[in-house]
Chains A and B, each alone.
Chain A
Amino acid sequence: MAFVIATASPAALAQSAATLVAATSDGSALNVTIPIFDPGIPDDPSVFRDQQVFPRIREIEAKLMPFLLRETLVESEQWGAVRVTTKPEEAAELQLLGTIVRSNGEWLDLRIRAVDAAGFTWFDRVFSSQANDESVTQLGDKGTPEFQAIYAEIAIELAAVRDRIGDAAVSNIKGTSLMLYASELAPTAFSGYLEETDDGTLRVVRLPAREDPMLVRIETIRNTEFLITDTVDAKFREFNADLTRTYRVWREYRRKVGGYEAWNTRFAEGEASNAERGSWESIKHRYDAYKYDRITAQERDRLAVAFNTEVASTVDAMEKRVAELNGWVENGSREWHRLLEELYEVETSLQ
């Protein structure tokens, strides 16, 4: 099941390739970046219980789920490097921005917005999936196999758009991505290569020569950043492996709680509810129905706390390591920016 929010027409995407100069394209496979998802935690904490949102667990899910989507895309063999990152990257060739809309053990709803470097939105949809026991049997202890269908559906949707837009559009996206990255690092040298069109998307108006020394430096720096991103990505994979077992137990408990809730409803509608109004049987039945409902809700809360306790050390260690790597990238980025600007000034003043 999916709810379409917005899609770009393939014709519009293909149109954008018209002016492409594919000097820096290195193939037709797009690299995909998946920032950790928006956990979808409501701003108002008073609604957490009603909506069954456990913030800490949602934050963990927001880190786990991109990895599961990544695995699915890698297995499809239709994409270049697929990376999970800690934050969105404007210069990414194709970026998948996700928000967890609902995650309650029985249902998973993910809003996915796929947007390329040129600014075209491939689709913006809510994908929805009900837990499937068969997937659990087939895929075993791997992430959340009961919701594998949702990742598969996203992969199919992406591949369909990729096929429609054609290779020329892909080349344009790759060129735009590189120029975007270059203009972020050395705006003086590269800001003139892109222009914004009337619809707000970007278009490559010209490209530097392949052997342009500034471009070579930019590509070297970008590859170094990719290396760090891949290290972060590997951390996510470790994180996933560490948490999978506990997360599966949590999922199973959530589903059991769903079973208890269904039992509570049946109990409340049971025979004793027809007892004479005000009688002991009637009063006791009403009280018990409420009591079981509250006990179920409180058990659910207790399990959430137990889950947090169990995974706290793993999450803390992972977050610390990722923060270190991000800090290194950000510091390096500032330094590269300064050096490249200085180099550009030196080189152009010599000409």
Chain B
Amino acid sequence: MIDCAGPEPFVLITILDTPALPNALEFPVPDTTLVRYPTILPIPSHPRPRFITALLLAAWLCLAGCAHHEKPLLIEDTKYFEGDMPADFSGYWQRDYASSDNINQVLRNAYYELGRKSRTSQGGIPMASDRDRSRLLPLARLVELITRTDELTISQTEHEILVERRDDFSLMCAFFDGVAKPADSAFGREVCGWNEDRLVSVNEFPDGLRVIHQFQISADRKQLRVITTATSKTSPMPFTVRLYYWRVEKRPGKFACIETLSMKRVCSTGELVL
């Protein structure tokens, strides 16, 4: 759950303990927003108090720089493809918690960035105003809600990519002749596109709420990065989290199963003949 109480300055120690992203450089198109302070700041074995202060200051500065890269990718920016799909995401994926963003921390970073921009502070440290915090928090809660699943099942055909998520609807990207076919309804719109080898799925809702998922697979095809961004007209800034997933090879079961209409799921140890 998101900690709604507000920022805690000492949490930076936790950030410094977070290991660097193991495979960040293996992705064909490195995400500039992945350059985070833990990777550039050495962790001293016995830090002295004055050094810790300097370290904290450097980290805060870096935080501000990192937040600059939080530019939401809009569907208008995406390109369509010709021929085969630019990437194959199919498979079972399980969340890599060690590499993935901590959503509370992302929120604190955002509060810091907002405070820096608006020159508001708390205890001498830049901090978003109450108004900005109350407007950003709903987006953060939404992102937390929709990224809760720790497993993704992705199936891909010549024309479609289906991302199944537990407790949520499946993201579905359908392409005809390389052009995405939007799924429109009275309640929102789902449209996909490609940004080089990144699959971009955009969910647009009434009132300007928008959720963007970007999927990218590592060069060795073992890791999947999903960047989820929520934006709204009422929020002072977008809210983005990056989650990593490891590919899981599922062993074939002893039973072969198919879905039928009148008999539901039918399984057999041998060949299934209806």
A residues with a Cβ closer than 8 A to B are 44-46, 49-50, 245-246, 249-250, 253, 264-265, 268, 277-280, 282-284, 286-287, 289-291, 293-295, 297-298, 302-303, 305-307, 309-310, 312-313
Contact = CB atoms under 8 A, between A and B. Distances in A.
A322 B72 CA distance: 57
Contacts of B135: 278
A305 B207 contact: no
B170 A290 contact: no
Contact of A278 (B138, B141, B181, B188): B138
* Secondary structure dominating the interface of B: mixed
B142 A283 contact: yes
Contacts of B273: 313
A278 B142 contact: no
Contact of A286 (B141, B176, B207, B235): B207
13 contacts: A46-B181, A49-B183, A245-B262, A278-B138, A278-B232, A283-B209, A284-B138, A284-B141, A287-B142, A287-B205, A294-B183, A298-B170, A313-B274
B139 to A, nearest CB: 7
B260 A310 contact: yes
Interface residues on B, range: 35 or more
Given A249-B261, A250-B261, A283 B138 contact: yes
A253 B172 contact: no
Interface string B121-142: 0000000000000010111011
B262 A246 contact: yes
Given A290-B187, A294-B190, A253 B261 contact: yes
A313 B273 CA distance: 8
Contact of A309 (B138, B206, B260): B260
Interface string B55-83: 00000000000000000000000000000
Contacts, number: 101
B263 A46 contact: no
A295 B169 contact: yes
Contacts of B172: 298
Contacts of A286: 187-188, 205-207, 209
A50 B261 CA distance: 22
Contacts of B168: 291
Cβ-closest 4 pairs across A and B:
A278-B234, A294-B169, A290-B188, A280-B138
A253 B262 CA distance: 10
Interface majority SS (helix, strand, loop, mixed), chain A? helix
Interface in B244-261: 258-261
Contact of A290 (B138, B181, B205, B234): B205
Interface string B159-192: 0000000001110101010000101111110100
Given A283-B209, A290-B185, A306 B260 contact: yes
A46 to B, nearest CB: 4
Interface of B: 135, 137-139, 141-142, 145-146, 168-170, 172, 174, 176, 181, 183-188, 190, 203, 205-207, 209, 211, 232-235, 258-263, 273-274
Contacts of A295: 169
Contacts of A312: 274
Given A280-B137, A283-B138, A313-B273, 5 more contacts: A45-B176, A49-B181, A284-B141, A290-B203, A298-B172
B261 A303 contact: yes
A246 B261 contact: yes
B179 to A, nearest CB: 8
Contacts of A303: 261
A280 B142 CA distance: 8
B176 A305 contact: no
Nearest to B146: A287
Nearest to A284: B142
A264 B186 CA distance: 10
Contact of A307 (B174, B176, B211, B261): B261
A65 B187 CA distance: 35
A46 B159 CA distance: 10
A282 B142 CA distance: 11
B176 A46 contact: yes
B194 to A, nearest CB: 17
Contacts of A283: 138-139, 141-142, 209, 232
A294 B176 CA distance: 20
